Chain A
Amino acid sequence: QQPPLRIALIGPMSGTGAFEGQLGLEGAQAMAAVINANGGIAGGRKLELLTYDDKGSPEDGVSAAKRAMEQDNVDMIVGGWFSAVALSMKEVTRDKIITVMTSSQHPKVTEEGHKYLFRLNATSAMMSEFYSKAICERIKPKSIAFINVNDDWGRLELENYTKLLTGCGIEVKGHEFYNRTDTDFTTALTKLKSLNADAIYVAAINTSQGATIYRQIKQTGYRGKVIASAGNMNPKLVELSGNSLEQVYSASPFTEDGSAPSLKPWLEQYRKSYKNEPSFIAALGAQAVQAIAFGVEAAGGDPRAYDKIAAALKSQEVPTVMGDLRFSDKGQANQAIHLVQIQKKQIVSVRD
């Protein structure tokens, strides 16, 4: 019997990001269960997940990474749900241990290209490239206004989409930034409504803030279109938003009706173990586990052969729940993105 492959899962388990952290953890655990049930990797090695709470704060993220490496002596690290945490954590783990960053979209994470660092989520630029086309060609509003969270991502979104959408003739009427701690958005939405834009684009990461915004858009009496930012649609959000998300579009690398072979067993396992619905964030968790398992397998089963593992990941296609992944030399994954829409409170992918 070989010792298990120990993976540290560092994410927000408490505080404002706790729900997103929980989804990611569930996704990873469901995938680990699937792999273990199939006999593990590299000839019977099981996966063991250790969880660490970064509370969404860089300090705790650094502490957690140190603890995972120095105290618990783990083989791999999965983390980086929030960009700020990802950026500080990578300074501690760089060149020391294979680290898979998950949902952070910040370009700086993979800018330098540390040799053991990988990031799964598409960057802002990749997402907007795809989504703006869909907006221009399918949704076709004449004018648009933005409500974005005030952080690098939210600012980047505004910048990208303003450029891309103006490019296809959509008039940008204005924007508002809200704080990560806000709970009420009526003031901002009152301003946006008065702009009389054809559509309002909502860039919200946090599920509860998102749901509040979608509900309050309707409650202010706005009757135009609503467009949800890419990568931030999940079943919980749909449930919480009531009718206010009906017909709203979003973009996501994850759809339940995908064709990857590993998708179905994972979905089943997930549904069996957890009461949440499978979501993009959960899929990122699963993907991280799959990437690691694949790398170790490809490197011959030694979880500490970091150079080999990294080389394997960068040179081969990694099969995951969201299809086959290809990592760039700097460790950035290239995800396929799909257009989705909420129809009768279901997230369905829109295929032409």
Chain B
Amino acid sequence: MDFTVFAQQIANGLVNGMAYVLIATGLTLVFGVLRIVNFAHGEFYMLGAYITYFIGTLLGLDYIAAAAIAAIVVAGLGIAANKLIFWPLRRDHEFTILLSSLGLALLIANGGELLFGADPKYIESPFADEVLDIGTVTLTEQRVLVFAAAVVALVAVYLFIRYSRFGKMMRATAQNPNGAALTGINIKLVHAYTFALACGLAALSGALVGPTVMIFPTIGNWAVLKGFIVVIMGGLGSVTGALFAGLLLGVIESLGGGYISLGFMEAIGYAMIIAVLLWRPNGLFSTARGLR
């Protein structure tokens, strides 16, 4: 096929991949750092999208402001979820915590359906229909925004975890909560902040990805699965890994869909994940945990 199409497919893949990365960033925090498999992450993504929508349509605020408010509100919800569910369960078996997050996901998704209605909605964004021509490639401004925001969010999170004092406290808490408590770390606060940050990021992804598609109460399912795949494939807790994994997944899906079979697009993505994990069981950028 000709080069224009190829370049366009690569561009599509990169943007979709970046959307995955954006969703995965918050997951990396709770999953990679606190080792909590949070199935409700996708629902916070959904809430982010819906809150942006409602602030836009009901309060008439502009898109950017609505997205920012949504992120803050959902961060607050994340703190509440942590306080009610994840903090009390922190010492229980990982499967128990997983189930609680599954329950929370069901609760938010069904509550959302009840509250927001089953009808799909569309977030009006000034960038959604503005088309940019970059060379032979055509992209909407919204997609460029998704890409740029993901890069910024990712770099910020990376620097935060790696170098900030709080990041160190988060990692310590993840690896040994008792030891962390004995070192003087307020692990309750660490949990709360981590959830706030992760949920805020989830909401932001919802607000940014939202205008490229339609939103409806079950969009979270899709988001959380893609997010997990990216986190695992990148290597637990590795932000750089998530970046590469997300982009790789996006591009492979788009090329696979474009040149092999659209119906098998997802399956091709999964096949790649399987190949990656069999080749590097701990993900692309695993911090190899010694030899077992």
Contact = CB atoms under 8 A, between A and B. Distances in A.
A194 B129 contact: no
A191 B118 contact: no
A187 interface: yes
Interface in A169-186: 176-179, 181, 183-184, 186
Contact of A188 (B131, B216, B257): B257
Interface string A171-213: 0000011110101101110110010000000000001110110
B120 A190 contact: no
Given A15-B218, A187-B257, A211-B214, A240 B5 contact: no
A16 interface: yes
A96 interface: no
A186 B120 contact: no
Interface centre among B119, B129, B254 (most CB of A within 10 A): B119
A207 B2 CA distance: 33
B94 interface: no
A186 B12 contact: yes
B138 A177 contact: no
Contacts of A13: 118
Contact of B262 (A15, A22, A176, A194): A176
Contacts of A242: 122, 129
B286 to A, nearest CB: 29
Interface centre among A22, A207, A219 (most CB of B within 10 A): A219
B214 A194 contact: no
Interface residues on B, range: 35 or more
Contacts of A15: 218
A345 interface: no
Contact of A187 (B113, B131, B213, B253): B253
Contacts of B128: 215, 219
A273 interface: no
B113 A18 contact: yes
Interface in B236-278: 253-254, 257-258, 262-263, 265-266
Contacts, number: 98
B52 to A, nearest CB: 16
B251 to A, nearest CB: 11
A14 to B, nearest CB: 6
A191 B213 contact: no
Contacts of A177: 262-263
Contacts of A183: 213-214, 219, 222
B222 A19 contact: no
Interface in A52-107: none
Interface in B124-156: 128-129, 131, 133, 138, 140
Interface in B104-130: 110, 113, 117-122, 128-129
Interface in A206-240: 207-209, 211-212, 215, 218-221, 236, 240
B122 A187 contact: no
A282 B128 CA distance: 31
Contacts of A14: 110, 113, 118
Interface string B5-23: 1001100110110000000
A18 to B, nearest CB: 4
Contacts of A219: 128-129, 131, 138, 140
Contact of B138 (A21, A209, A221): A221
A190 B139 CA distance: 11
Nearest to B254: A187
Interface string A6-45: 0000000111101101100000000000000000000000
Contacts of B217: 18
A276 interface: yes
A240 B122 contact: yes
B119 A276 contact: yes
A194 B120 contact: no
A236 B120 CA distance: 8
A247 interface: no
Interface centre among B4, B120, B122 (most CB of A within 10 A): B120
A253 B133 CA distance: 41
Contacts of B212: 184
A190 B253 contact: no
A190 B5 contact: yes
Contact of A212 (B12, B138, B214): B214
A19 B4 contact: no
B1 interface: yes
Contact of A19 (B118, B140, B213): B118
A150 interface: yes
Contacts of B266: 179
B110 A211 contact: no
Interface centre among A15, A186, A208, A220 (most CB of B within 10 A): A186
Contacts of A211: 120, 122, 214
A19 B120 contact: yes
A191 B5 contact: yes
B242 to A, nearest CB: 20
Contacts of B122: 211, 240, 242
A302 B155 CA distance: 72
Contacts of A188: 257, 262
A208 B216 contact: yes
A350 B275 CA distance: 54
Given A15-B218, A179-B265, 10 more contacts: A22-B117, A183-B213, A183-B214, A183-B222, A187-B9, A207-B119, A211-B120, A211-B214, A219-B131, A276-B119
16 contacts: A13-B118, A19-B118, A19-B119, A22-B118, A179-B266, A181-B222, A187-B258, A187-B265, A191-B5, A208-B215, A211-B214, A212-B214, A215-B129, A218-B129, A219-B140, A220-B138
